[in-house]
Chains A and B, each alone.
Chain A
């Protein structure tokens, strides 16, 4: 009697414990596709696919001469109608979000004069640019607004006031680059408010590739945002002036995820496209969100380019996983659809509001399609020299100034201390490891992914890269060549909340 009761109770409690553990396992079994916390909007959101898609305007040079093409950009506060019927205050290059697109020609020097009319200092970084150190936008090389009366933090950087030139040699292959704010401690909120734009490098020698061009070459900046009840952008800054205390309030220290998907600043837009091949320059300009982009109905996304230039051979994807700051140049053939068909770009990592991205409605082509997908978009890279140094870099959660933050090899960002000092011209292997999702970006140098885990490069790792999507508890090796310029640069996690909370390091090319 007592035996059977014991057996019964023992058995029941074992079943109970197994159920509790089982429910906990199942509830978290999918893990997370992004490291971050959703910040829900506080107002009704528009229906997807009701607002018109637009391409950011292309900036005209103020002057073109033997010294190059000269542009002028004013950074200022403005308002934009992002949600229908309400004005959203933004910070914008030329008061626009996204900023105007700059198109440089390979080999032609480009000088952009930035004027700061914002209430904070700024730093402009050309993401993916092979740029001299003084022009790269080091996080403490601050451009203060004209007439600045506030404090000047002694931050081991070069200070300028009012306006300054950023001169880019553009001696690099054609690629989809972007420019954005990079001020130490405040990059996340500044980009969230709108300081981001495309900077494309084109190469006239590539005309023979016959890639889709003109209005069939579409830059697509995908960025998630959240909105307050009054239509303003919602962001959990500890210090909304973005002047004194960096960081975000908990639980957003792991990254800020918005619930509105903006494409070129428009929520879930729709556009008509002729039934022909189009080049989509996909850029993930989100602070923390990763996307898995696919077309519905299914159609191949043929990748021809990566972050830093064209591929040696095209890669056909059914879906593309894109981490913050990464770019994928893909060709989509809308000619495979019938006029009137509706094709949706979806995010398979999304939930209710973050699954739709944008929609294309196919209309009849207005003539034959002269474009094609080249077999060899770019020549194979020159063989790498001998590896001079192999470095281990561990990207982890940690304690930064007594607060929860993010570290590289246990240390938070210190602009005065170099984590690595490669020699100019050297080739190095960097072995990166992570605890959570960390999109790791190197300034100056373009790299190749050698391995991920115990296998070779992943499906989305091919071609010349400047940002690698490191997933949780993952190791990857990259082959980096430090060419072009000596000087002091940074590498960092492009989850911008991680970057602002310490996950950045200096490398000094000697």
Chain B
């Protein structure tokens, strides 16, 4: 397929789909581990803390994949900013968790997981312009 000004790199969707899905899963896992330590399983607190780091890294990697969708993929740039914004929220979320400001930590966590799931869903629905649906 040829588009004015250059080639659409359709393959760039795949790194995003994979990394965004992994990020969404790791973010959702935070709720799973939180539920477990609230049920009294002490080691789940440690897992919750460790997985926060992994989820943050996964969101950054997904952001890099979103950059590929834009360059060279010629797709929209907003997903890149969305993942970077999500990463910023995660940094704040980790700080709130360590400070035990749970009245903010829990609603923000719900928002972050929702954001991660929406971005992953978008990555699977996204089609470059000009591609037949």
Contacts and interface: CB of A to CB of B under 8 A. Distances in A.
A78 to B, nearest CB: 34
A2 B44 CA distance: 41
A455 interface: no
Given A17-B21, A17-B24, A437 B40 contact: yes
B35 A10 contact: no
B29 A472 contact: no
Nearest to A410: B100
A28 interface: yes
11 contacts: A9-B17, A13-B17, A17-B21, A20-B25, A21-B25, A21-B29, A31-B36, A32-B39, A32-B40, A32-B41, A33-B40
B4 interface: no
Contact of B38 (A13, A30, A254, A472): A472
A133 to B, nearest CB: 33
A2 B43 CA distance: 44
A36 interface: yes
Nearest to B10: A2
B100 A28 contact: no
B25 A28 contact: no
Interface in B23-64: 24-25, 28-29, 32, 35-45
Given A17-B21, A17-B25, A396-B100, A25 B41 contact: no
Given A24-B32, A396-B100, A397-B45, A472 B124 contact: no
Interface string A301-315: 000000000000000
A157 interface: no
Q: How large is the interface on A (under 10, 10 to 19, 20 to 34, 35 or more residues)?
A: 20 to 34
Given A21-B32, A25-B32, A31 B41 contact: yes
A35 B40 contact: yes
A411 interface: no
A28 B44 contact: yes
Contact of A36 (B24, B37, B42, B100): B42
Interface string A14-50: 0001001100110011111111110000000000000
Nearest to A25: B32
A473 B42 contact: no
Interface of B: 17, 21, 24-25, 28-29, 32, 35-45, 100, 124, 131, 133
A453 interface: no
Contacts of A36: 42
A147 B8 CA distance: 87
Nearest to A253: B42
A238 to B, nearest CB: 18
Contacts of A28: 32, 35-36, 39, 41, 44
Given A13-B21, A17-B24, A28-B35, A471 B40 contact: yes
Nearest to B45: A397
B39 A472 contact: yes
Contact of B37 (A2, A17, A21, A436): A436
A48 B116 CA distance: 52
A9 B44 CA distance: 32
A473 B36 CA distance: 11
A181 to B, nearest CB: 25
A472 B25 CA distance: 26
Interface in A315-374: none
Interface string A230-267: 00000000000000000000010011000000000000
Contacts of A254: 42-43
Given A3-B133, A396-B100, A32 B124 contact: no
Given A24-B29, A25-B32, A436-B37, A35 B42 contact: yes
A396 B124 CA distance: 42
Contacts of B133: 3
Contacts of A397: 45
A397 B21 CA distance: 33
Given A21-B25, A254-B42, A473-B38, 19 more contacts: A2-B131, A10-B124, A17-B24, A17-B28, A21-B29, A25-B32, A28-B32, A28-B39, A28-B41, A31-B38, A31-B40, A31-B41, A35-B40, A251-B43, A436-B40, A437-B40, A471-B40, A472-B37, A472-B38
